[in-house]
């Protein structure tokens, strides 16, 4: 178990280039199984979850060739389905929640699939019903046998297009069902589909491989099944969650930072939500410049009511940034209500912030009220542990802004989603030691 030792109070100054989007990578990498031809992907982030998935694809028999700092070529021409029966596969797939999206491509191309219950962040219940209900609508049959080591076994020998209304706008559920449908016989209509930029990128890639998907960027996707897909070349978006994390970090540490190559039109309302906290920023072409600010003030609603930030399906505010907004509000002027609707355990890291001196009331598992300190009282360094990826970075931001030294344990969680975060921040003035 590794730890970060952070010396707080350092002001950063310089440029940061966001990594490729983690959540897009997990979908795009699974999609390489849909064709036997080469698929080249650029801007792949060098993070634990992505590297584990690439390793798993290699074990399945996919030829993996690194062709640049962040580019890979994949060729799934000789996939070994017997590997799905191995203990190694069970162990590796169970440790990675994104592995569930291997099922859609397997069902589409090989007409069967097998996967253990996947892992991931401990942020509350994350059910798989949307995935399997969608597969069933397409004609797949699945079985979960606890006596078989906890495997989901799926038979998709007769996939046919159909109309379906997803029970929730799940990003991974939509991606999984979409990948199964691209080679199903007939036409599939997916209503209440997630439409995050990650999904739009997946649709763009699949269409370039020969799929026939319309309605991209909406919540109504229409897929005309094809018999096979070809190879392609695809470049991933910058990670919007990392961009938002850097905006909050700049405000909390009173730093002057330029975030490069953000593809700003793809960020949706993310910049606006941080502006509502009083954070100044300038768009300079495709870069975001955040000046050093001594103070920033949380807006109120037009009727004078307390500002609320809540998560919602895209184009609403992504739940992955609520932890960052919460910690950024700790040193703002004003009061903010955070409403985390999707996951019931994602706010449980606030006890560490309270121990550091933050004024936060955890109202219930889904809501927390932050009373901003307006820099009148600095946070103090403590020892803490990272419970999940986003909470881990929120704690890192708090530690960087605090007085004294902090230690964050279990930083493997942070490494799952942020590429060489200590090295990159140290290069612009942070003092983070990996223990």
92 annotated to a ligand binding site = no
342 annotated to a ligand binding site = yes
Six-digit token string for 398: 């708090």
Residue 125: name the closest of 306, 344, 319, 288 by CA: 344
Does residue 355 have an active-site annotation?
no
Query: SS3 string of 102-154?
Result: HHHHHHHHHCEEEEECCCCCCCCCCCCHHHHHHHHHCCCEEEEEHHHCCEEEE
Pairing of strands 187-191, 220-224: antiparallel
22 annotated to a ligand binding site = yes
Contact 192, 169 (CB under 8 A): yes
Check the CA dihedral 49-55-60-63 and report its sign. positive
Give the separation between CA 32 and CA 251, rounded to whole angstroms. Answer: 39
* Other beta carbons within 10 Å of 127: 11
3-state secondary structure at position 302: coil
Give the separation between CA 303 and CA 244, rounded to whole angstroms. Answer: 28
Phi-psi region of 357 (alpha: psi -120 to 50; beta: other; left: phi over 0): left
Residues 49, 121, 239, 415: which is the catalytic one? 121
End-to-end C-alpha distance for the chain, whole angstroms: 9
Residue 142: name the closest of 88, 180, 169, 199 by CA: 180
Residue 173: name the closest of 100, 94, 90, 96 by CA: 100
Place of tokens 């939509």: 174
97 annotated to a ligand binding site = yes
Count of residues making up the chain: 435
Contact 245, 264 (CB under 8 A): no
Give the separation between CA 115 and CA 83, rounded to whole angstroms. Answer: 11
23 annotated to a ligand binding site = yes
- For 285-309, give one letter per residue: b (16+ CB within 10 A) or e: eeebebeebeebebeeeeeeeebeb
Question: Within its chain, how far is the Cα of 139 from the centroid?
Answer: 30
Furthest-apart CA atoms within the chain: distance in Å:
65
Active-site positions?
121
- The binding site for UDP-N-acetyl-alpha-D-glucosamine comprises 97, 320, 342
- The binding site comprises 22-23, 97, 320, 342
- The binding site for phosphoenolpyruvate comprises 22-23
């Amino acid at each position: 178990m590794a730890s970060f030792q952070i010396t707080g109070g350092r002001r950063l100054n310089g440029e940061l280039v966001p990594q490729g989007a983690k959540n897009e990578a997990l979908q795009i990498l699974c999609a390489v199984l849909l064709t036997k031809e080469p698929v080249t992907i650029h801007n792949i982030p060098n993070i634990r979850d992505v590297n584990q998935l690439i390793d798993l694809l290699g074990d399945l028999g996919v030829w993996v060739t690194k062709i640049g700092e962040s580019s890979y070529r994949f060729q799934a021409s000789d996939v070994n389905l017997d590997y799905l029966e191995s203990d190694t596969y069970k162990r590796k797939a169970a440790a990675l929640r994104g592995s569930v999206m291997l099922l859609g491509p397997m069902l589409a191309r090989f007409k069967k699939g097998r996967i253990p219950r996947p892992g991931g962040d401990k942020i509350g219940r994350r059910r798989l019903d949307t995935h399997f209900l969608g597969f069933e609508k397409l004609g797949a049959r699945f079985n979960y046998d606890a006596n078989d080591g906890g495997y989901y076994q799926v038979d998709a020998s007769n996939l046919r297009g159909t109309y379906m209304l997803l029970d929730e706008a799940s990003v991974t559920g939509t991606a999984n069902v979409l990948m199964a449908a691209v080679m199903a016989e007939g036409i599939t209509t997916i209503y209440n589909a997630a439409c995050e930029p990650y999904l739009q990128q997946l649709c763009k890639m699949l269409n370039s491989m020969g799929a026939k998907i319309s309605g991209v960027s909406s919540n109504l996707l229409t897929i005309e099944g094809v018999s096979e897909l070809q190879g392609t070349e695809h470049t991933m978006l910058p990670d919007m969650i990392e961009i938002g994390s850097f905006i909050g970090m700049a405000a909390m540490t009173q730093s002057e930072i330029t975030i490069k190559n953000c593809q700003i039109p793809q960020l949706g309302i993310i910049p606006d939500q941080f502006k509502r906290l009083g954070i100044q920023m300038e768009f300079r072409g495709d870069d975001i410049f955040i000046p050093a600010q001594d103070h920033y003030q949380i807006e109120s609603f037009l009727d004078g009511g307390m500002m609320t930030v809540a998560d919602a399906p895209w184009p609403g505010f992504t739940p992955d940034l609520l932890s960052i907004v919460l910690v950024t509000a700790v040193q703002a002027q004003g009061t903010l209500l955070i409403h985390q609707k999707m996951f019931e355990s994602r706010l449980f890291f606030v006890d560490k912030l309270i121990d550091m001196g933050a004024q936060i009331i955890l109202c219930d598992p889904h809501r927390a009220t932050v009373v901003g300190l307006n820099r009148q009282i600095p946070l103090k360094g403590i020892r803490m542990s990272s419970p999940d990826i986003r909470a881990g970075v929120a704690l890192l931001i708090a530690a960087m802004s605090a007085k004294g030294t902090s230690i964050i344990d279990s930083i493997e969680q942070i490494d799952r989603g942020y590429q060489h975060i200590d090295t990159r921040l140290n290069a612009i003035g942070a003092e983070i030691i990996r223990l």
